[in-house]
Amino acid sequence: MSDDDAFAIKPTGRDVDLEKIDRVAEGHGFIRREVKTRRNHVGLTLPINVKLDQETYNAFMRFCSDHDDMTYRKAIGKLLKMAGYLKE
């Protein structure tokens, strides 16, 4: 078979078990290329960088920890809601 013959191979049109193919591929170290869905997607986000004194920093870390290791984004949102700056 020459290199040109390899391009002449056409799919047979039979049903393909994609789950089986994925299992075999993963067993050989291949990873899926499908786009994974993002969790916690909130739309447009903007960065914020603040300098805090040690006491405020520790209090904020404690707040996050006391609320099931809440993310900083969620903690800031919760604090703003508690202060009345954001609606529930």
Q: What is the pLDDT of residue 6?
A: 67
pLDDT for residue 86: 95
Domain count, the chain: 1
Q: Give the Cα separation of 69 and 66 in Å (integer).
A: 7
Position 61 scores a pLDDT of 97
pLDDT digits (tens, 9 = 90+) for 58-73: 999 999 999 999 999 9
Q: Which residues of the chain have pLDDT under 50?
A: none
Local structure of residue 12 (DSSP, 8 states): -
The sign of the torsion formed by the CA atoms of 80, 83, 85, 86 equals positive
Buried b (16+ CB within 10 A) or exposed e, 38-59: eeeeeeeeeeeeeeeeeeeeee
Q: Residue 3's pLDDT is what?
A: 63
The pLDDT assigned to 18 comes to: 81
Q: Which residues contact 63 (CB under 8 A, 6 or more apart)?
A: 70, 75, 79
Domain membership of residue 38 (yes or no) is: yes
- Boundaries of domain holding 23: 16-82
Q: Has residue 2 been placed in a domain?
A: no
Lookup: tokens for 22: 């994925």
Residue 6 counted as domain residue: no
